[in-house]
Each structure stands twice: as C-alpha cells, then as structure tokens.
Amino acid sequence: MNEVTTQGRNARRWFIASLLVIVSDQLSKWYIVESFVYRQRVEVNAFLDITRLHNTGAAFSLLADMGGWQRWFFVALALAVSVLIAVWIMRLRVPQNRTLAAGLALILGGAVGNLIDRLVHGYVVDFIHAHYNDAYWPAFNVADSAITVGAVLLVIDTLLDARRQPKPPEST
C-alpha cells in the first residue's frame, strides 16, 4: 500500500473522531435547548451545575458585548482554523503522530461544533457550570472540552517530540 493511501485511510479515522465530537456536542446542546429555559440551573453536586447559557463571544465570553460583528468574525475564524487543521490531519504520518492527530481531531470537532451553534443560533450554547462555593468558572460545553483536551494533547506531543529529537554532540 502506498503512503498516500495510508495517509488517506488514517485521516478518515481522525475525521470520524472529529465527527463523533461534533455529534456528541450537538446532541448535548439539543437536549439542553429542548429541556432548559435560558439561565435555568440544576444542581448536580456541590461543584457542578447544569445551566443553559448563551455565549456570543469567545472563550470566557471574550468580545461578547461588541454589537454582533463578533459572530461573523468567529465564524470566519472557525472556518479558517478548521480548514487548516483538516489539511494538517491529511498530511500527518500516522502512527508516528497519533498524539498530535488525536489533539487535532478533538480541536477540529470542537471548533465545528461551536461553529454550528454560531451559524444556527448566533451564539454558542454553554451548560456545564463548575464552581466552588460562590466562585464560578465560566460555563462551557462538550466542544469546549474537546478543544481543551486537544490543546493539552498538542502540548504533550510537542514535549514528547522534543525528547525524541537527537541531542547535538557536546563540544569539548
């Protein structure tokens, strides 16, 4: 089997992983939208609530109150990043880069999941709301979690790659 065929087959596997993230993200958001009214909160335990919230900005509601232009900015950004990541995945040599491929697949799935929300609703549906007493972390969703785990995998891959690189000979 030639290298191009192998790369294509491996890329499909990672695109399927991205698709699983997108489907689980959209199904969870669909459930929240159908089952909760805006700002409705259900306590899960002492540290976690399920709260339907809408985020018109980026992470931590960055640029949320900017008059609406940010929606299209984030749509364009997500599209550009998604295309770049898809091309990157297609060019990877797997299995040598499994950690990198997994990270990219998670980021791609999360980016597309939130992109769908922006296109359909004009905002991202967030609902996982962690807290400690009265200190609340910004709400997030399955797509945000996938992006975060994917970013951690990219850092791990970078650290592992640095360890695999041969060290230059010491001069005496």
Q: Which amino acid is at 112?
A: V
Determine contact, residues 102/153, Cβ cutoff 8 Å: yes
- What SS3 state is found at 171? coil
Per the annotation, the verdict on 126 as an active-site residue is: yes
Amino acid identity of residue 89, one-letter, is I
Classify strands 41-45 and 48-55 as parallel, antiparallel or unpaired: antiparallel
Catalytic option among 117, 144, 157, 161:
144
SS3 (DSSP) at 135: strand
Is 49 tagged catalytic? Answer: no
* Distance separating alpha carbons of residues 113 and 124, to the nearest angstrom: 9
**Of 65, 126, 134, 157, catalytic:** 126
Q: Which residues are the active-site residues?
A: 126, 144
